[in-house]
Amino acid sequence: MRNAIEFEVYGDYALFTDPLTKLGGEKLSYQVPTYSALQGIVESIYWKPTLIMYIDAVRVMKPIRMESKGMRPLDYGGGNTLAHYAYLRDVHYQVKAHFEFNLHRDDLAFDRNEHKHHNILQRALKVGGRRDIFLGARECQGYVEPCVFGEGESYYDAYPDIYLGTMIHGINYPDETGKEELAVRLWNPVMKHGTIDFIRPEACTLVRPIRQAVMKNFQKENIEAADLLWDQLKQQEGAI
């Protein structure tokens, strides 16, 4: 697939927070990364509003281990409070993803150049991404490198199917769905021999609305396309 990307992401800690644990100020990580967390990682490597990043699969390379830490988060009333966060420890994943053009954004139709975006995405991956990589939370630094999905040994290669229960899949944003609404998606993933194959966002049947929202408007006047800028620079050089 010309618009595909395969990479590994790893770090000392990860916190893919189960939202049910946020109510009391404590945080507990899911056992595996969510679709939206991996989508955020891909968008930290390279993102344009012209594109929608889709996660196809994730492969868990190392055993799932948890570590609890005493934290002092900011209190809503001022000062600090005490809490315990349960992190994933020593994580390593292989990820397979691809991008598609955002057909809900007619204002960015002029930027639909698959070859250009794929080349930039591959170059950005080789240097570790355009922005910092975080594994679910700001304090969990991650690192990305190109890889071949499926190569190497996973700790769970010989394991039977592992049912992970109901998890967050992601958030529906107006610019990705065409609806003026924020909504949360839920699903029931199964890890088969260490690999989770993600369903597409529109295939999620457990969708709950959050609130009304509108998409941000992009035009040629408020964004700058790299290929158009490059053409202008070449014209200027030719005029000198």
Q: In this model, does residue 73 exceed pLDDT 90? A: no
> 90, 114, 111: which is closest to 220 by C-alpha?
111
Q: Is residue 82 part of a domain?
A: yes
Task: For residue 105, name the pLDDT band (cuts at 50, 70, 90).
Answer: confident
Residue ranges making up the domain that contains 115 = 4-164+189-198
- pTM comes to 0.87
Q: Is residue 13 part of a domain?
A: yes
- pLDDT digit string, tens, across residues 158-190: 999 999 999 999 999 998 888 889 999 999 999
CB burial of 156-170 (b: ≥16 within 10 Å; e: otherwise) equals beeeeebeeeebbbb
Q: Is residue 139 part of a domain?
A: yes
CATH number at residue 104: 3.30.70.2660
Q: Is residue 36 part of a domain?
A: yes
What are the start-end ranges of the H helices in the chain?
A: 35-45, 114-126, 174-177, 226-239
Cβ-in-10-Å burial (0-12, 13-18, 19+) of 25 comes to middle
Q: Is the dihedral of CA 220, 101, 198, 165 positive or negative?
A: positive
Q: How does strand 195-197 pair with strand 190-191?
A: unpaired
Asked whether the beta carbons of 164 and 157 are under 8 A apart, the reply is: no
- Report the mean per-residue pLDDT for the chain: 89
Task: For residue 236, name the pLDDT band (cuts at 50, 70, 90).
Answer: confident
- pLDDT digit string, tens, across residues 32-70: 999 999 999 999 999 888 899 999 999 999 999 999 988
Q: Is residue 184 part of a domain?
A: no
Asked whether the beta carbons of 144 and 18 are under 8 A apart, the reply is: no
Task: For residue 224, name the pLDDT band (cuts at 50, 70, 90).
Answer: low
Q: Is residue 214 part of a domain?
A: no
Q: Is residue 220 part of a domain?
A: no
Report the pLDDT value the prediction gives residue 213, as an integer from 0 to 100: 87
| Angle value at C-alpha 124, between 226 and 168, nearest 5 degrees | 105
Q: Is residue 235 part of a domain?
A: no
Q: When comparing pLDDT for 213 and 76, which is higher?
A: 213
Task: For residue 1, name the pLDDT band (cuts at 50, 70, 90).
Answer: low
Report the pLDDT value the prediction gives residue 98, as an integer from 0 to 100: 96
Asked whether the beta carbons of 90 and 9 are under 8 A apart, the reply is: no
Task: For residue 74, name the pLDDT band (cuts at 50, 70, 90).
Answer: confident
What are the start-end ranges of the H helices in 108-169?
A: 114-126
Domain count, the chain: 1
